[in-house]
Structure 1
Amino acid sequence: MIEAAKIWNEPNNKSHWDLELDPAWEKFAEMAIAAGRAIRAVHPTLPRVLGGISPIDPAFIINMKERGVLEHVDVVAVHGFPLDWNLWQIDEWPAKLAEIQALVALPVWVTEVGVSSFGAEEVQAWGLQRTAELLGGRAPRIHWYSLYDLPTAWEATTRHREAEGSSYYRHFHMGLLREDGTPKKALSVYEQHAHAIGLCQWFHYQDHRLDEAVRWLRRLGVKQLRTGLSWADSFRPDALSWFDRQMEALAEFDVTVTFCFTPEHLGVAPHHTSAPKQPEAFAEFCGRMIERYCDSSTRASAPPVPILADAPAP
């Protein structure tokens, strides 16, 4: 069942938010506040998580605090990939986490941490073990990214793709399982820590890996899972049928569900990283999904969030 709702994914990363359109995150803050209010109107206690920041940037958190966003969330989340994309070393994890913890009175979760096997599987296995040692007991929630490698026939969700050089190709090697489902060396290391470290696995629209992923999650003893429901995907044919199938398959896990990705026809610019033309449209999507997928016994007795008229997909 859904145990937390996450508002966006890496909003301070130019691959996930159009900083040219919103350089000071003013529009993001407006959207996040609207989403926080919508989620709370539907559910009285569900933790609202401010999308995992990447890079870990205290200035961004100060910005969100000054704009009032932290009054409408219950958790702040960070992401870190020091062996692949960040300009700091893995042993700096405790200090990086402490920087954010010192700024907020809210819990700080690590909702994505991972190491690619781009160079060698042994690097990933060592990085997982070292990460567990460094973060254990320092964060109330940790999610390893990810269960599966990204299929090579797909594209990574990043704006500049191959122009990023090896940084782009590392996206395809973050899994504990290869694209064909066979285990890497790091899988046995993760299994030792599955009781304390959850997983993050994004599922694409009509993802063929869903059922097999559930079998692996059970086998590994995973309790906490982070995944996403895409606002952009909600305009695809039979989107709700796919969402229903995904959430039913994951019902036995404690799920942190991430809401993100702007539909082209609702963005200031026609791109999934764009700020929406109307922040309330994203907020309505968040509220509607919580109302649909949270246990009714835990939701507020308030009337349902009104559904805005959906514009047709282009």
Structure 2
Amino acid sequence: MIEAVKIWNEPNNKSHWDPLLDPEWARFAEMTRLTGTAVRAENSTVTRVLGGMSPIDPSFVRRLEEMGVMEAIDVVAVHGFPLDWNLWPIDEWPARIDEIKAVTDKPVWVTEVGVSAFGSEEVQAWGVKKTAELLIGKAPRIHWYSLYDLPRTWEATTRHREAEGSSYYRHFHMGLLREDGSPKPALEAFRPYAADMGVCQWFHFQDHRLDDAVRWLKGLGVRRLRTGLSWADRYRDGALDWFDRQMETLADFDVTVTFCFTPEHRGLEPHHTSPPQVAEEFADFCAEMTARYAPARPQDAAISPARLIA
């Protein structure tokens, strides 16, 4: 069910990793090394992806390389939203990827790219086409964020919430579909590129949108999907039942699954962005999920991980 595992999400973004608790990313580096080794021990053919950078920062890659992280991963991932949050023009996408290629010999995937319809649905549709033109052929994996708008009764995963002003509300309008499931102009703009651009869609615990999402994705012709399994959710009642249902429902796609979110009672501080008290516990969770949803088969020993990176 799993093509690749992604170790954390946006570790250089304070909305996903607390820089006050780990200012030099030493704890993150240790956790990633342990996790990459644990995943490889469960299945040597699963591609291990470094949690997507946001912002795109070559110095962050160099810092992690100094701490031995690159030996435990196969791919470096980046995230970019130049029409919404990044301080660079959309035409700079190729140059931003080249910045990372200049400091690592790992393949560079774009595991989140998107345009909000907060200001204009027509601008979002244009952004889909422009992004496809800039990135298809430049990156081996591209995941558009996202299929659905975020329901307005939920909270966006960001640290300062409404204090961010309009930047916060842009989070709720990133989908090709509106909250009620109706299509935006961006959906038809995306359709011609669906075989080359995958989708990133996070599913919350017991997410009511799961089955409809699969119908839409298959109808569009999407082959590659990025989603997540939350370490924090592992402690909920019925967690494995939900994980099983989610992964079985997504079994027809080439799935990149992101492992992240610290349980409050296992963090240095009680927050999902906190480094864990014990890094091995996160590695154990990732190994458990890999064994459950990407179990090694005898014939896998003859398959090179590079085949899945190309």
Say yes or no: TM over 0.5.
yes
Cα deviations by residue, 1:208-243 (Å, 9 ceiling, x for unpaired): 000000100110011000000000011011000000
Is structure 2 residue 7 aligned with structure 1 residue 11? Answer: no
Aligned to 2:256: 256
Which SS does the other structure have where 2:144 is aligned? strand
CA distance, structure 2, for counterparts of residue 77 and residue 103 of structure 1: 13
Aligned to 1:90: 90
Aligned to 2:131: 131
What amino acid is aligned across from residue 181 of structure 2 in structure 1? G
What amino acid is aligned across from residue 241 of structure 1 in structure 2? D
CA distance, structure 2, for counterparts of residue 262 and residue 281 of structure 1: 10
Which SS does the other structure have where 1:255 is aligned? strand
Aligned to 1:158: 158
Q: Quote how far apart the aligned CAs of 1:295 are.
A: 4.3
What amino acid is aligned across from residue 174 of structure 1 in structure 2? M
What amino acid is aligned across from residue 200 of structure 1 in structure 2? C
Q: Quote how far apart the aligned CAs of 1:136 are.
A: 1.4
Which SS does the other structure have where 1:259 is aligned? strand
Equivalent residue runs for 1:141-180 within 5 Å = 141-180=141-180
Aligned to 1:46: 46
What amino acid is aligned across from residue 14 of structure 1 in structure 2? K
CA distance, structure 1, for counterparts of residue 277 and residue 171 of structure 2: 30
Q: Quote how far apart the aligned CAs of 1:116 are.
A: 0.3
RMSD of aligned alpha carbons? 1.1
CA distance, structure 1, for counterparts of residue 105 and residue 290 of structure 2: 25
- The aligned length equals 301
- Shift of the 298–263 alpha-carbon distance from structure 1 to 2, 3 Å rule, reads farther
What amino acid is aligned across from residue 121 of structure 2 in structure 1? E
Superposition misfits of 4+ residues, deviation over 6 angstroms:
298-301
Aligned to 1:76: 76
Aligned to 2:190: 190
CA distance, structure 2, for counterparts of residue 8 and residue 238 of structure 1: 23
CA distance, structure 2, for counterparts of residue 30 and residue 154 of structure 1: 33
CA distance, structure 1, for counterparts of residue 300 and residue 8 of structure 2: 23
CA distance, structure 2, for counterparts of residue 221 and residue 135 of structure 1: 19
The answer to whether the 8 A contact 1:41-1:300 is kept is: no
The answer to whether the 8 A contact 1:194-1:222 is kept is: yes
Aligned to 1:305: none
Structure 1 residues without counterparts, runs of 5 or longer: 302-314
CA distance, structure 1, for counterparts of residue 90 and residue 266 of structure 2: 39
What amino acid is aligned across from residue 219 of structure 1 in structure 2? G
CA distance, structure 1, for counterparts of residue 7 and residue 256 of structure 2: 10
Aligned to 1:310: none
Is structure 2 residue 119 aligned with structure 1 residue 119? Answer: yes
Structure 2 residues without counterparts, runs of 5 or longer: 302-310
Q: Quote how far apart the aligned CAs of 1:298 are.
A: 6.3
**Which deviates the most, 195-204 or 290-299?**
290-299
The answer to whether the 8 A contact 2:232-2:272 is kept is: yes
Aligned to 2:60: 60
Cα deviations by residue, 1:142-164 (Å, 9 ceiling, x for unpaired): 00000000000000011111011
Cα deviations by residue, 1:36-60 (Å, 9 ceiling, x for unpaired): 0110110112110000000001110
CA distance, structure 1, for counterparts of residue 88 and residue 125 of structure 2: 19
The answer to whether the 8 A contact 1:147-1:177 is kept is: yes
CA distance, structure 1, for counterparts of residue 299 and residue 277 of structure 2: 29
CA distance, structure 2, for counterparts of residue 239 and residue 300 of structure 1: 29
**Which deviates the most, 287-296 or 208-217?**
287-296
- Shift of the 66–104 alpha-carbon distance from structure 1 to 2, 3 Å rule, reads same
Equivalent residue runs for 1:302-313 within 5 Å = none
Which SS does the other structure have where 1:256 is aligned? strand
Which SS does the other structure have where 1:208 is aligned? coil
What amino acid is aligned across from residue 129 of structure 2 in structure 1? Q
